[in-house]
Amino acid sequence: MEIGFLGLGIMGKAMSMNLIKKGFKVTVWNRTLSRCDELVEMGASVGETPAAVVKKCKITIAMVSDPAAALSVVFDKDGVLEEISSGKGYMEMSTIDPETSCKISEAITSKGGSFVEAPVSGGYKHAETGQLVIIAAGDKALFDEAILALNVMGKKSFYLGQVGNAARMKLVVNLIMGTMMTTFSEGIGLAERSGLNPSDLLDILDVGAMATPLLKAKGPNMIKSNFPTAFPLKHQQKDMRLALALGDENAVSTPVAAAANEAYKKARSMGLGNLDFSAVLEVVKPYKD
Ligand SMILES: NC(=O)c1ccc[n+]([C@@H]2O[C@H](COP(=O)([O-])OP(=O)(O)OC[C@H]3O[C@@H](n4cnc5c(N)ncnc54)[C@H](OP(=O)(O)O)[C@@H]3O)[C@@H](O)[C@H]2O)c1
């Protein structure tokens, strides 16, 4: 099956490479076209525009940074809408808000195409090895048609029904992850400042009830103030912002997440937005008067 792939950032590159390695014919596009070169070396074709990719492929996947980027790829000149038609499917895998996802869905289906939103949980290492968790909703026939590709990219795919549900679920998941990371950072900062060895903290957490792959993966680098980018902090802050808006819309108090969002905003104001989201640790580092 010929799959189109729009957006070759940290995640899109790893996911499309994985599809190629598993034998899919993939046509790629990226706003900065030079980023397609590595994929071409692996056997991908390039579409000059999102419209050109959709014209060529039965199913096209998008994996771009945020709602504005997702809208741009679909609605701008040479965008997806120009070529989407009956028999073609569009899968939005970027993390975006449900309203944006519904807007894209309506535009695609009004042209006869089918739409699935399928944001993912997991980082680029999971993307490289096909171990993502895929949270999908929308057209069930398209979900079923794309299942072989989804099974290459992910270790498990959830189907949650109507469009918007998967976008909401992904925001809930990242609200939890974002607050966990800020609390973990405060703990590391407090351990350090109060004369404890932070690696002892990691060892203790690792054998207790709070052990998680997230803390295990991030902790050792964090205590050395290393924040190699896996999930850019600016995207985690975007997810907190979208999750808080979801809280507002549903009259749910989210005071802890709101405080965590402030920490991510502060980190962005310190120029840390392109580092890994674990760099939020820099915000809670001990102050000196
Ligand atoms: N990284 C992770 O661990 C992770 C995990 C789960 C979900 N996600 C989500 O997956 C999505 C992609 O994340 P990422 O980490 O791959 O981000 P990234 O490395 O920052 O890549 C962003 C991609 O979006 C493109 N883009 C940005 N603005 C655009 C625009 N206006 N029009 C067209 N393309 C645009 C970029 O193109 P250029 O190359 O031209 O800049 C690039 O291909 C985000 O929604 C993120 O929240 C990420």
Summarised one tens digit per residue, pLDDT across range 197-236 is 999 999 999 999 999 999 999 999 999 999 999 999 999 9
On the question of pLDDT at 196 being above 80, the answer is yes
On the question of pLDDT at 281 being above 90, the answer is yes
User: Tokens in use for 183?
Assistant: 């609390």
* Ranges of H-type helices in the chain: 10-21, 37-41, 50-56, 67-75, 98-110, 124-129, 140-145, 147-153, 165-193, 198-206, 213-222, 233-249, 255-269
Token pair 């997440």: residue = 257
In this prediction, residue 288 carries a pLDDT of 74
Q: What is the mean pLDDT of residues 257-285?
A: 97
Q: What is the mean pLDDT of residues 120-147?
A: 97
> Using a 6 Å cutoff on CB, does residue 30 contact ligand 1?
yes
How large a percentage of the chain has pLDDT more than 70? Answer: 100
> Using a 6 Å cutoff on CB, does residue 101 contact ligand 1?
no
In this prediction, residue 287 carries a pLDDT of 76
In this prediction, residue 87 carries a pLDDT of 96
Cα of 277 from ligand 1 centre, angstroms: 14
User: Tokens in use for 202?
Assistant: 């990691």
In this prediction, residue 63 carries a pLDDT of 98
Query: Is residue 218 among the annotated active site residues?
Result: no
Q: What is the mean pLDDT of residues 236-247?
A: 98
On the question of pLDDT at 247 being above 90, the answer is yes
On the question of pLDDT at 165 being above 90, the answer is yes
In this prediction, residue 224 carries a pLDDT of 97
Q: What is the mean pLDDT of residues 224-253?
A: 98
Cα of 167 from ligand 1 centre, angstroms: 16
Q: Each residue of 30-86: pLDDT tens digit?
A: 999 999 999 999 999 999 999 999 999 999 999 999 999 999 999 999 999 999 999
32 CA closest ligand 1 atom index: 40
On the question of pLDDT at 289 being above 90, the answer is no
Question: Which is catalytic among the residues 13, 88, 103, 170?
Answer: 170
Output the CA–CA distances (angstroms, integers) from residue 14 to 21, 79, 143, 171, 218, in the order listed.
11, 23, 21, 22, 20
Q: Each residue of 182-194: pLDDT tens digit?
A: 999 999 999 999 9
Residue 230 per-residue DSSP state: S
Cα of 94 from ligand 1 centre, angstroms: 7
Cα of 33 from ligand 1 centre, angstroms: 14
* Spatial distance between the Cα atoms of 62 and 5, rounded to a whole number of angstroms: 6
Dihedral sign for Cα 256, 261, 267, 269, please. Answer: negative
> Using a 6 Å cutoff on CB, does residue 218 contact ligand 1?
no
Whether pTM exceeds 0.85: yes
**Partners of 91 in the β-ladder:** 61, 116
Q: What is the mean pLDDT of residues 101-109?
A: 98
> Using a 6 Å cutoff on CB, does residue 235 contact ligand 1?
yes
Average pLDDT, the chain: 97
User: Tokens in use for 206?
Assistant: 């690792």
Domains and CATH numbers, the chain: 2-163 (3.40.50.720), 168-284 (1.10.1040.10)
